[in-house]
Structure 1
Amino acid sequence: MNDYRWPTWVALSGLGLIACLYGARTFADTSIVAPANFPAPRLESLRVPVSDPATPRGLSIKGWKTLTGTKVLFIRTTALPMFDLHVSFAAGSARDGGTPGLAAATFGMLNEGVPGKDLPAIVETFDGLGAQLEMTIDHERANLVLRSLSDAQKSTPALHLFTQILGEPLLTDEALQRVKNELREHLLFRSEQAGNSSEQSVKALLAPGSPYSLPFYGTDQGLQSLSRQAVKDFHQRFYGASHAQITLVGDLTLDQAKAISLQVSHALPVMPAGTGATPMPALRPLGTKRTFHEEQPLTQTSLILGQLGVSRQHPDYAALYAANLIFGGTANSRLMNELRERRGLVYDVHSQNSHWASAGLMTISLQVSPSLSAGILALTRSMFRDYLRDGPTQQELDQIKLRVTNMVALDSASNKQILKQLVDINRHDLPLDIDYIAQQVQRLTLKQIKEALNRHLAADQWRVVTIGATVDQQPLPAPPATPPGTSSSACVAP
């Protein structure tokens, strides 16, 4: 959602122009005459798409728990001599405990130094071993990923350093000051990006005063009040084994995977008695304010609508997942077809679901002309109201089922893609089947999707954030009339 995606039609416009010009020349050249009985060209595969039943892939998931309480999932792949090790902790910003920035500062200090190595030495060591370290944090979890070659001469020292980062960070005063400065700069940068600011503002409207209403990286005031002792206590409590999940994908035997999981689990801090894993704070709608506007001198207005959905474990998740794809989650969704293809009001519009332990968040994001923002918002609301009333069409459902089936193979073309899916299974405690959601979508009916939509979403429950300049509003231009039988393509032969 936060990445700017260059509109596809801009990239292809030159090719489209060439095609149109070539087509015009061909039709104008009377010396080229097709035989009278020559059949009209057509592609049967586009007229009648064939949907083969989805078959489960041969990706067997192995799962176990270490004696220290760490949940582990593993998929063996042997195409490349490497593996990805993902270690996740229930140590996101929702655990800040009244000091916004505590979780992010602790997380940021993990790779600042370990016994015998400072940050440059850590980077140099990983580079020399051909290994990579990635780190991300969100409201609920802190994630570290090690990618290493499977060869023991490379993986052994890489794993040793990785486990030191997890279990033995130095957490010095000097490192804390550096991380505080970096987080303040990051907060300033994100606040200047309309997409990031609007997404966070929607959460603040939905659950004001909750940990989810604040940025992952805390606040300037919270960061200023942080002490080294608070960071050490947070690490001791939330980076223990019972708060950890391990996900492994790659060229390892089951015994090797188990050995790695034990090595990681045993390297984590020993948690104080009585401080086992605790439930995440619930995300519940608390606020009554429905709209928020941030004035900025922008040429486009960032518009985002959001409301709470369901968690990944909910029985209606698959129906809402498919419903979201149909409404705004694909390049040929209802929103794209109406707002961009038919009316030309936006370059892009996207609807997506985010997920937490207790709920989901559905958001619709657009960049619109400032003078048309009110009209586009009203049209989007109206389209969603109609969607709740009527549900999807059979054609839309058939297309989404075909799309999900086709994405099954594409979503597991690399270890990194497999890891992403397996991490979701681990995080949300889903069935140990990487194709589980795709198989659920294939069994959906129109009635199930419509009923799920109306059980969990409502046309009058949107929280709306706009970021941009306040200007006089203009009515939306009337959509172009398309005579029956006329192609909607810009390339129409004379």
Structure 2
Amino acid sequence: MNNLQRLNPLKRLKNLIAASASALMLSLSQPVLAQLDIQTWQTQEGAKVLFVATPELPMMDIELLFDAGSARDGAQPGLANFTGNMIGLATSQRNEQAIADGFNDLGAVFNSNVNRDMTRFSLRSLTREPLLTAALDLFTEVIADAEFPADIMQRDRVRLLQAMQQADEVAGQYARKVFWQRLYQDHPYGQDVAGDSEVIEQLTPMDLDAFYRQYYVAQNAQISIVGDLSQSQAKAIAQAISERLASGVKATAIPTPEPVTPGLEVVEFTANQTQYFAGQLGVERGHPDYYALFLGNHLLGGSGFASLLVEEVREKRGLVYSVFSFFAPMREAGPWMIGLSTANNQAQEADQVVKETLLGFLEDFDDAKFADIKQNLLGGWPMRFDTNDKILGYLTMIGFYDLPLDYLEAFPAAIEALEKADVLAAWRQHIHPDNLFTLMVGQPVLDATP
């Protein structure tokens, strides 16, 4: 054989992985059309598991989440985020480079994310052996055997503090952070996920390890699996992960937030544009009125150019490039908010038009527009879970928030059944213009008595 054609076994394996992964990544954008059959069970250690078989592609996506979001920070804002971001950088057996090389050599992708409610770790791998088992072993090791070396922590502390400072210099990001703080006041949701710079300066490896040992436990965990696997394979995978975790105890409930005092606050920020947010507390995930609130918001400000806010604020008056509204339901009541950016000398007019549009919407809205927006939402519904990673996201939501397993079928049915009167009744019950908190960050030009 020609020496140029001779490859060592490891290089042949790496080339095979690369070729297979490239082809599969191109296929991941193709719809997953099989009917979803969500299976659920608990591991022996108490972790909740949700599984959907998708045999169309020889690929597996798995997510391990913990009820360990920034709402668990307590008196140390930033603790959950710092802990979550350190996972995957060191174990008792491997350093950061060895972990990164391990995933790369297997053609696997590891990611992490921290939000207010949860911390999530995901893995994407081919289902071909021995790649799958090796990838799962490494995934489990980096989470179940995490360490927090002081030198790496200090390096990441510097990076995090720099990123936080840079974010505060971007008007839109700073305004959003301030809005959450004002809306939730002393509630855990009011703390920025990234945390407080003074606290982050003082965090130690012992702080991170204590948080990790309290919350990264089986009783506080959920495992979601989507891919070309049988249920018996999924059960074996979930059990292998769960038994590597300490059993621990489930996190306690977080408090119910209190409504904010309504009114307008202006925060000075040197910029040509004013960042504007107005809103109030909405509803928690799973609230029975969410269907009607979601559909109504789709018409008001959640559907881009088809929304009433875009029509009134942008199309008719040219005050903004973009305006939006949304609900963000969480474990406890999430926010409902309207957002836009406008020239400083147009901020007051934009605020007036937003409030008038909301009042008009609550009074009544056009039947034809309502029918169109409903069909727009229903027509695009299947695209919300047409790939493995989208399905994984819904499994996370369904499991963590204790939604019914038929949620993806029940949601469009509930939307279809809604009448205009149902939407108006829900909005009038939950959204009260007199109770809105409004924030302007910039140098808005306002009348002396706005």
Same fold (TM over 0.5): yes
The 5 A counterparts of 1:249-328 are 249-271=226-248, 275-285=249-259, 287-288=260-261, 290-328=263-301
CA contact (8 A) 1:198 1:302 kept: yes
| 2:115 alignment partner, one of 129, 133, 138 | 138
**What does residue 120 of structure 1 align with?**
97
CA distance in 1, matches of 2:361, 2:334: 19
Q: Distance in 2 between matches of 1:107 and 1:99?
A: 14
Residues 312 and 357 of structure 2 are in contact (CA less than 8 Å); yes or no, is this contact kept in structure 1?
no
| Matched positions, count | 414
Given that residues 58 and 127 in structure 2 are in contact (C-alpha distance below 8 angstroms), is that contact kept between their aligned partners in structure 1?
yes
Q: Indicate which of 149, 172, 188 corresponds to 1:211.
A: 188
Aligned counterpart, 1:175: 152
Out of 353, 356, 360, the residue aligned to residue 327 of structure 2 is: 353
RMSD of the alignment, in Å?
1.8
C-alpha distance in structure 2 between counterparts of 1:135 and 1:250, whole Å: 19
1:460 aligns with 2:434: yes
- CA displacement, residues 170-214 of structure 1 (integer Å, 9 cap, x when unaligned): 112223222322221221122122222222222222221222222
Within a 5 Å distance, the mapping from 1:130-169 to structure 2 comes to 130-169=107-146
1:195 to 148, 152, 172: 172
- Contact kept, 8 Å, 2:65 with 2:120, in 1: the verdict is yes
TM-score by length of 1: 0.80
Residues 206-256 of structure 1: per-residue CA shift (max 9 Å, x gap): 221222222101111111221222211111110001111111111111111
Q: How does 1:8-19 map to 2 (within 5 A)?
A: none
Distance (whole Å) between structure 1 residues aligned to residue 102 and residue 169 of structure 2: 35
Structure 2 CA distance for aligned equivalents of residues 184 and 290 of structure 1: 32
Q: Residue 79 of structure 1 aligns to a residue in which SS?
A: coil
C-alpha contact (below 8 Å) 1:301/1:367 kept by paired residues: yes
CA contact (8 A) 2:147 2:209 kept: no
C-alpha contact 1:131 1:149 (8 A) present in aligned 2:
yes
C-alpha distance 237-255 of structure 1, shift in aligned 2 (>3 A): same
Structure 1 residue 385 corresponds to structure 2 residue 359: yes
1:240 partnered with 2:232: no
Find the counterpart in structure 2 of residue 99 from structure 1: 76
Distance 1:86 1:122 in 2: 18
Whether the 8 Å contact between 1:115 and 1:168 is mirrored in structure 2 is yes
Amino acid at match of 1:279: A
2:45 match: secondary structure? coil
CA distance, structure 2, for counterparts of residue 293 and residue 266 of structure 1:
52
Residue matched to 2:400: 427
Quick check: 1:333 aligned with 2:311?
no
Matched residue, 1:397: 370
**Contact 2:60 2:227 survives alignment (8 Å):** yes
Judging by fraction of residues, say which structure has more helix. Answer: 2
Question: Is the contact made by 2:34 and 2:54 (CA closer than 8 Å) also made in structure 1?
Answer: no
Cα distance, 1:143 vs structure 2: 0.8
Q: How does 1:441-480 map to 2 (within 5 A)?
A: 441-471=415-445
Q: Give the match for residue 38 of structure 1.
A: none
Alpha-carbon distance between aligned partners in 2 of 1:312 and 1:397, rounded to the nearest angstrom: 24
Summarize the Cα distance change of 1:267–1:356 in structure 2 as closer, same or farther, 3 Å threshold: same
Q: What is the deviation of 1:260?
A: 1.2
* Deviation digits for residues 403-448 of structure 1 (CA, Å, limit 9, x no counterpart): 1221122122211122222222122111112232222111101111
Matches within 5 A, 1:364-375: 364-375=338-349
- Letter matched to residue 288 of structure 1: T
How many Å apart are 1:57 and its aligned residue?
6.7
Distance in structure 2 (CA, Å) of the matches to 1:312 and 1:105:
26
CA distance in 1, matches of 2:97, 2:258: 43
Check the 8 A contact 1:84/1:146 in 2, yes or no: yes
TM-score, length-normalised on structure 2?
0.88
User: Secondary structure at the residue paired with 1:152?
Assistant: coil
* Distance of 2:409 and 2:34 partners within structure 1: 8
8 Å CA contact retained: 1:93, 1:100: yes
Equivalent pair of 1:236/1:270 in contact (CA under 8 Å): no
SS at match of 1:148: strand
Write out per-residue CA displacement over residues 339-381 of structure 1, whole angstroms, 9 at most, x where no aligned residue.
Answer: 2222222111111111220112111111111101001101101
Deviation at 1:87, TM superposition (A): 1.2
CA contact (8 A) 1:70 1:242 kept: yes
Q: Which residue of 2 aligns with 1:36?
A: none
CA contact (8 A) 1:140 1:280 kept: no
2:201 aligns with 224
Contact 2:157 2:200 (C-alpha < 8 Å) held by counterparts: yes
Equivalent residue for 2:14? none
Query: Shift of the alpha carbon at 1:299?
Result: 2.3
Kindly provide the amino acid, as one letter, of the partner of residue 358 in structure 1.
E
Deviations along 1:90-109, one digit per CA (max 9) or x if unpaired, are 11111112111211121122
Does the 8 Å contact 1:78/1:250 carry over to 2?
Answer: yes
